[in-house]
Structure 1
Amino acid sequence: MRYSSISIMVLLFSSMSVPIFADTTTATPTLSPPTAALITVNIDKSAYALGDTIVISGQVQAVVVGTPLTIQILDPTNNLVQVAQIDVSQDGKYTDTMKATGALWKSNGKYTVKVQYGPPNVTAQATFDFQSTPVFTNNVFQLKDPGSQQTFNVNYTISGGSVKTMTIDAQSLSVIVSVNSTNDGTISLQLPRALIDAKTSSGQDDAFIILIDGAEVKPQSESANNDYRNITVQFLQGDQDIEIIGTQIVPEFGPIAALVLAIAIISIIAVSAKTGLRFMPKY
């Protein structure tokens, strides 16, 4: 049997197998760098009470000239409590303060600060705990006068901080109350008239001069009876010294000094009776 040369070549090529290789190299995916948030928001504390100041700050990534930033505060039931619009600086940063006061600040719980800039989807939020009624502390401070050695009980009620100490400044006719004011608050003092008082030249009650860290302030309220003068003063977070200045301070002669003086007078009278010493000339 004969095969043509062409047939023989076809058979030879068909019997040969040509391997095919595939590229099994796995490509490493390229990770894109994380993108910065379009807007951020921060608050200075995690909890506030009625009357506190809330400091709100943050930054936007892209500043649009003439576009205000909106700040909203929502209560635990998502009702709007306070709203403001502020400008953003050229570098994208913003800061604003809001006071936790008013009829809408009435629910205890977790509040939300929501900021929006430009499109509705450019938002950020933060939360804080809120106490709608201030927490008051009642206490008594025993104030001792180093000159007369008298001790006076000063009743006080404070919110937004604590009383560190009370001192008498005889030269300025004042009582200085040092406080640790962790928040905005108030202090009510029941000051014994025997400790400090303020009188006019005619003997009527006069107003105290009140200084907080050297700046004069007006009391929130004042009242008085025969034994005490009562004042209530508002202070801000960070305030330290509340000075109440009157027209008279602890009497120069306290009980011990008065007793010594009385004994001295009796002794002089007794000596004069024995020796015939006279205090007034005889005419």
Structure 2
Amino acid sequence: MLPIFAEEIPLISVKTDSSSYNEGDIIIVSGKVETVIAETPVTMQLFSQGNLIDIGQITVAQDGSYSSTINAEGPLWTNSGEYTIRVLFGEGNIAETTFNFLQKIGESPKTKIFEVNAGSYGTFDVGYSVIGGIVQDIKIEPDNYTLVVTIESTEKGSLLLEIPREALDAKEQDKSDIEFIVLANEVQILYDEEIVNSSSRKITINFEQGNSDIKIIGTTVIPEFGGITITILIIGIITTILVTKNKFQRYV
């Protein structure tokens, strides 16, 4: 007669309310622990292609159950495919489950508004949207005729800015438009200008993973601080090119 073994009961379980989700869906994660340990939460980790993209802790109820939600959107949700949820409880108690995620294709990120502090002048709004990162801060440096955007770049991406002309602009002495100088981590880069009107300039800047400071330099700034001449801007361009050239020469 063959021996009969009792079925081993897992010490922790985990599941989601569906096997597949689209970008923007709410994922409900739930499970149960067999033995509750006082003041010990469940640690939940979320992986995409083997990379940890989110982590959090979930309180366990007295009956051993736990649940939490995940919003399936944001700068770290960049790949469609299989995602893994791993839960850990106590010492060595681990469970996993997987689900499929489908990223939206062809949709541009929504434009948001950042209120920039302009000192005694007050504030002004900069419209922005970003792919591949998070905008952490936008500030004006009037003495340098510069708008500084601080980002956390999780990957190669792009930043769209709608800059009000009254806050920052770049013009010839005859008032015709000229290009801004744009720097990413102090290295001059190119940009695209999509829409120009009488009240704002809309530019798109591509950045690399690891870039943190993007500077847009013009010739005029909020009225309180006046403007600079095209000669000064040209000097700034030449200086920037020389600095950039020297940076690259060090690696030759």
TM-score (norm 1): 0.43
Quick check: which has more Rg, 1 or 2? 1
Higher strand share: 2
